[in-house]
Homo-oligomer: A and B are copies of this chain.
Amino acid sequence: MGRLRSRSVTLRDVADRAGVSVSTASKALNSRAEVAPATRERVLRAASELSFQPNVLARGLISGRTRTVGLLTDELAGRFAIPILLGAENALGNEQMSVLLCDARGDAIRRQHYIRTLLARQVDGFIIVGDSNDLRPSLTRDIPVPVVYAYGESTDPGDLSVLADDEGGARLAAEHLVSHGRRWIGHITGPETYRAARDRATGLRAVLAEAGLSLAGDPLYGEWSQRWGRHAARLLLAARPEVDAVFCGNDQIAAGVADTLRDLGRRIPDDVAIVGYDNWEFFAADCRPPLTTVDLNLEQLGATAVNHLFAALDGDRAAGVVRQPGRLVVRESTGPAPHR
Interface residues of A (CB under 8 A from B): 1-6, 8, 53-58, 60-61, 66, 68, 76-77, 82-83, 85-86, 89, 93, 98-103, 112-113, 115-117, 119-122, 141-144, 225-227, 230, 252, 259, 282-283, 286, 288
Other A-B pairs, 15, CB within 8 Å; known A77-B86, A86-B103: A1-B112, A53-B116, A55-B61, A57-B57, A57-B60, A57-B66, A57-B122, A58-B61, A76-B82, A77-B83, A98-B102, A226-B286, A230-B288, A252-B282, A259-B288
| B120→A56 contact, CB < 8 A | yes
Q: Separation in Å of the A72 CB from the closest CB of chain B?
A: 12
| A55→B122 contact, CB < 8 A | yes
In the complex, which residue of chain B has the Cβ closest to the Cβ of A141? B4
In the complex, which residue of chain B has the Cβ closest to the Cβ of A76? B82
CA–CA, A100 to B122, complex, Å? Answer: 14
| B100→A100 contact, CB < 8 A | yes
| B76→A86 contact, CB < 8 A | yes
Q: Which residues of B contact A2 (CB under 8 A)?
A: 112, 115, 141-142
CA–CA, A123 to B189, complex, Å? Answer: 45
Q: Which residues of B contact A58 (CB under 8 A)?
A: 57, 61
| A252→B286 contact, CB < 8 A | yes
